[in-house]
Each structure stands twice: as structure tokens, then as C-alpha cells.
């Protein structure tokens, strides 16, 4: 499996002091304490970014962000792994570099958590107290939701309406294994003690360009960060921020399989939910996973049956095609998880966030004789997502072997410092490592290098599959200056 993909995580930030109420200023404080930046003065290049193009074929009103150099440097930190740490809206956010497979994306996502945790430790150390706390979750419990986004590169030739038709039932129901778990309800939705997903309450329509209000199940942003005529980037906003590695791997891996099937004209189950917006909330509230979801043909299905239908379609698809070891791993885990969810969801307490969190809270309530509306239980919900290793309930479960890991600490450390080898991120990372003093700026599609006399040279990177280690090993061999690099690129 090789596909350009990556994730973006928005973090919740809380200040204990009432004198620090501004989340934007606090987010800027946090990322200003990012350790190990090779080019701390580099800017983010917004030249090829425009989030106002809609995949349905039009542009909405609005001006793309173009901050001046000083504020740009405050907003953006270019990381050694060719990823990005920045402030988006009122939140600190980490974008992985472009990865080549779901497991690599998982590793780089966890690297981002450690980078943000180090920022937090550095910031609090300067203040002499634990003034700030950062959470990897999706809700502040007061009606505000913040996002976690996945990105998958696809050929432009795939019609967007086909993408939407295939993905709607899949996205509505995949929360049964990638929901992060949530105490209570928000956004004016029906009350509930506990639900599968932190994000489900906040989706209000099927398709739209918005990500912050009137959130759609399918986001229509058409910003490929690549050659527009060749590629489209599916920008997925419907997922939760997971702490459990298996949940993250399945979330990205199963969706990547759907992308493969779309790209190669695979056959999908014919499932047409009558009301997907209602269904996504209904599924989130159904811990049995078997609630009846009405279809437009008058029949009914369940979240578990929908996922089983997509799994069976994937199995049929790969019976006549080469199947990589990673794809096989995803298929095996997908089938195993669905089988266990059908038999006994609690058996997945070491694998899935919503189950692990539910078990942790249920055990606490049994001991304390309290209920789901106890504020201590709400605090446990939040503390599960604390990014401080010593304070996080999910990290505590990991350390005691009660939450399964797929990654290793050494590869996460490596991912903090080194770009992926099989995407264009490698070229950006190599430029950053070799020419940190000459690095003026960077984006997903460019590197901006200073060539002397205040001249800036932009190197375009519109093909995400080029700029890999294999393709650039000779390019970077035995060069010491930017001029040498530019000369070789010219030839």
C-alpha cells in the first residue's frame, strides 16, 4: 500500500489562570516554545493555498490567509520532519508530513503529540508552574468542537459525487471502531450518558465547504496541494482524535483501502441511508452497534452490518489483485474487530478508545458509587486525552499493557527529526537539514531558499510522489551550497 496521506490534529489548550483567557494568545505562547527548530525564522509559504475552492465546481467568497512575515513566523513553526506546527483559529495544530501508508501516518501522528507535549513542558517550565494543560480531544464540554482531519490524495478523474456516495455510509458507521468515546451530549442534541464519538453531535449537513460551523459529514474543500489537473485531496473532518493506536490505524487504514477501491473502480455495497445526519448521531449513541438505520429503499440496516458489507467488498476486491502485507494486516484487524464488536464489544478494551474509556469509567463509578453525570467522570473523560505522559489516563493504560501499541518509542523519536522517505516531504526535510540558514520558507508544495543578496528562489513541489529519498539521493550527493543544488535542479 502506497498512498499519499496525512493527518492534522487540533489540540485543546486550557489556562488555569483567569488572567490568560485568550486561547489564540495561549496557542501562540505554546508553539513559541517548540524545541529543536532548525530554521526558527522560516515562514510558511501560502502561495498555493486557497481553501475557498469547492469540489462541486465553484469558488466561494473569501480571501486566502496571507499574514505578514512577522506574524507568519509567530503562527508557523516548520519542523525537522517536514511537518508543520501552527495556530489555526484558536487552537495549536500539528500536521504530519506527507506519509506513504497508514502505519507511517500513525507514527508521525504520535511524533506530533510528543512535540506538542515538549512545547507544553517548556512553556510551563518558564512560568514555574503547570499553568497550561493541553488535550488531544475534540470538545471542551461547553458546546465547542475542534477538529481532527485526515487527508488522502486521489486522481482528479474520480468524480466527487461518486466519492460522496461511497463514503457517506462508511463515515457514518466507522465510529464503531474509531470513536474516541464521550461523556454526555452537546450542540443541542439528545441527552445521553455515554457515546462512541466526540464529533458526531456536531455534524449538521451532508456536504459543505465549512469546517467550523454547519459541519458536513463530507467536506468539499478542493485544495489538492498538488497539480490541480491531476489530483484531488479528500479532506476528511468527520473523525475523532484517537489516543489508542489501533483505533487510529484502523481509521486511516480502512479509509485508505476505500481509496484504493475507488481508484481502481472497485464495487461497493449499495447502501443509501435515508438520513445520514441523524444516523451519525444515532450510531454514536448505540453501544450495542445494532440499532436500526432506515434506508431509502424502505429497508433497515445497522452500523455493524454496514461495516461488514464494506469489509466483504474489500475482500472481494483483493481476491483478484495483489495485496500488500500492510493491506492484509488492515483487513485482518478490521475483520477481527468487527467480529469482536458483534460478539462482545468489551473484549476490545485493549484496542479501541471508546471501549477502553468506558471500562475505565464504569470501574470508577462502581467503586465510588457515582453516575455518569458526576463531574469526576467528566474530568476522567478529559484526562484520558491529556498529552502529558505522567497525567494522561490513556498513557497510563499503555504503560501497564492495558492499551495495545503498534509503534515503538525509537521510531517515534526518529519521526520527530526525520521526514518520510517515500514522499516529497523527504526533499523538504533534506533542504531543511542541509541549508537551515538559507531556508526562507516552506509549504507542502514549495521550498524557498535564500541565494544571496536577499534573493529568494522558490522550488516547486507539485508532485507529491517525487522528491523521495530514492529520487534525490544523487541530487544531494556531495553538495554544500544552495547554488549547487539549484544548478543540479536546472539540469
d(C-alpha 156, C-alpha 374), whole Å: 50
- Identify whether the C-beta of residue 8 lies closer than 8 Å to the C-beta of residue 235: no
Q: Is 161 marked active-site? A: no
CA count, 13 A, side-chain hemisphere, 267: 8
- Identify whether the C-beta of residue 358 lies closer than 8 Å to the C-beta of residue 194: yes
- Identify whether the C-beta of residue 142 lies closer than 8 Å to the C-beta of residue 284: no
- Identify whether the C-beta of residue 476 lies closer than 8 Å to the C-beta of residue 459: no
* Cell digits of residue 257: 483501502
* Cell digits of residue 80: 525537522
Of the residues 22, 54, 88, 270, only one is catalytic, namely: 88
SS3 letters across 319-358: CCCCCCHHHHHHHHHHHHHHHHHHHCHHHHCCCCHHHHHH
- Identify whether the C-beta of residue 110 lies closer than 8 Å to the C-beta of residue 407: yes
Which 3 state secondary structure label does DSSP give 452? strand
- Identify whether the C-beta of residue 35 lies closer than 8 Å to the C-beta of residue 118: yes
Phi, psi angle pair for 467, to nearest 5°: 80, 15
What is the number of residues in the chain? 491
d(C-alpha 142, C-alpha 360), whole Å: 23
Q: Angle 102-127/245-263 helices, nearest 10 degrees?
A: 140
278: number of Cβ within 10 Å = 13
Question: Strands 182-183 and 148-155, how do they pair?
Answer: unpaired
Q: Which of 3, 12, 77, 69 is nearest to 40 (CA)?
A: 77
d(C-alpha 326, C-alpha 1), whole Å: 7
3-state helix, strand, coil in the chain (%, to 5): 40, 20, 40
* Cell digits of residue 275: 438520513
- Identify whether the C-beta of residue 314 lies closer than 8 Å to the C-beta of residue 330: no
Active site residues: 88
Amino acid at each position: 500500500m502506497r498512498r499519499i496521506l496525512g493527518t492534522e490534529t487540533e489540540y485543546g489548550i486550557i489556562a488555569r489562570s483567569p488572567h490568560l483567557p485568550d486561547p489564540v494568545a495561549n496557542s501562540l505562547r505554546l508553539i513559541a516554545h517548540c524545541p529543536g527548530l532548525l530554521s526558527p525564522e522560516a515562514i510558511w509559504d501560502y502561495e498555493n493555498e486557497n481553501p475557498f475552492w469547492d469540489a462541486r465546481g465553484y469558488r466561494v467568497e473569501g480571501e486566502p490567509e496571507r499574514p505578514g512575515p512577522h506574524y507568519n513566523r509567530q503562527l508557523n513553526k516548520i519542523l525537522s520532519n517536514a511537518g508543520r506546527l501552527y495556530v489555526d483559529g484558536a487552537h495549536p495544530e500539528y500536521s504530519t508530513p506527507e506519509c506513504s501508508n497508514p502505519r507511517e501516518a500513525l507514527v508521525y501522528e504520535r511524533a506530533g503529540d510528543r512535540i506538542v507535549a515538549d512545547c507544553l513542558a517548556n512553556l510551563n517550565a518558564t512560568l514555574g508552574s503547570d499553568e497550561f494543560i493541553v488535550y488531544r480531544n475534540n470538545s471542551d464540554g461547553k458546546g465547542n468542537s475542534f477538529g481532527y482531519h485526515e487527508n488522502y490524495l486521489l486522481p482528479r478523474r474520480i468524480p466527487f459525487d461518486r466519492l460522496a456516495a461511497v463514503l457517506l455510509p462508511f463515515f457514518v458507521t466507522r465510529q464503531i471502531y474509531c470513536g474516541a468515546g464521550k461523556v454526555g451530549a452537546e450542540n443541542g442534541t439528545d441527552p445521553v450518558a455515554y457515546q462512541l464519538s466526540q464529533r458526531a453531535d456536531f455534524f449538521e449537513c451532508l456536504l459543505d465547504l465549512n469546517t467550523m460551523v454547519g459541519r458536513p459529514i463530507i467536506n468539499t474543500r478542493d485544495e489538492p496541494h498538488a497539480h490541480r489537473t491531476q489530483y484531488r485531496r479528500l479532506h476528511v473532518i468527520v473523525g475523532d482524535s484517537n489516543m489508542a493506536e489501533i483505533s487510529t490505524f484502523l481509521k486511516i487504514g480502512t479509509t485508505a483501502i476505500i481509496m484504493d477501491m475507488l481508484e481502481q473502480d472497485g464495487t461497493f455495497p449499495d447502501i443509501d441511508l435515508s438520513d445520514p445526519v441523524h444516523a451519525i448521531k444515532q450510531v454514536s449513541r448505540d453501544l450495542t452497534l445494532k440499532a436500526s438505520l432506515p434506508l431509502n429503499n424502505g429497508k433497515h440496516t445497522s452500523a455493524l452490518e454496514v461495516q461488514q458489507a464494506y469489509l466483504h467488498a474489500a475482500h472481494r476486491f483483493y481476491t483478484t489483485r495483489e495485496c500488500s502485507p500492510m493491506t492484509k494486516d488492515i483487513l485482518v484487524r478490521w475483520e477481527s474487530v468487527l467480529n469482536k464488536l458483534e460478539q462482545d464489544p468489551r473484549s476490545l478494551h485493549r484496542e479501541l478508545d471508546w471501549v477502553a474509556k468506558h471500562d475505565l469509567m464504569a470501574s470508577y463509578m462502581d467503586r465510588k458509587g457515582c453516575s455518569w453525570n458526576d463531574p469526576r467522570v467528566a474530568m476522567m473523560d478529559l484526562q484520558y486525552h491529556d498529552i502529558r505522559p505522567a497525567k494522561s489516563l490513556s498513557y497510563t493504560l499503555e504503560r501497564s499493557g492495558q492499551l495495545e501499541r503498534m509503534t515503538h518509542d525509537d521510531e517515534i523519536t526518529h519521526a520527530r527529526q526525520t521526514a518520510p522517505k517515500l514522499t516529497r516531504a523527504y526533499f523538504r526535510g533534506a533542504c531543511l537539514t542541509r541549508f537551515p540558514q538559507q531556508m526562507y520558507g516552506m509549504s507542502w508544495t514549495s521550498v524557498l531558499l535564500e541565494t544571496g543578496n536577499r534573493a529568494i528562489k522558490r522550488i516547486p513541489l507539485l508532485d507529491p510522489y517525487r522528491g523521495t529519498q530514492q529520487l534525490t539521493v544523487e541530487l544531494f550527493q556531495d553538495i554544500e551550497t544552495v547554488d549547487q543544488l539549484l544548478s543540479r535542479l536546472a539540469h
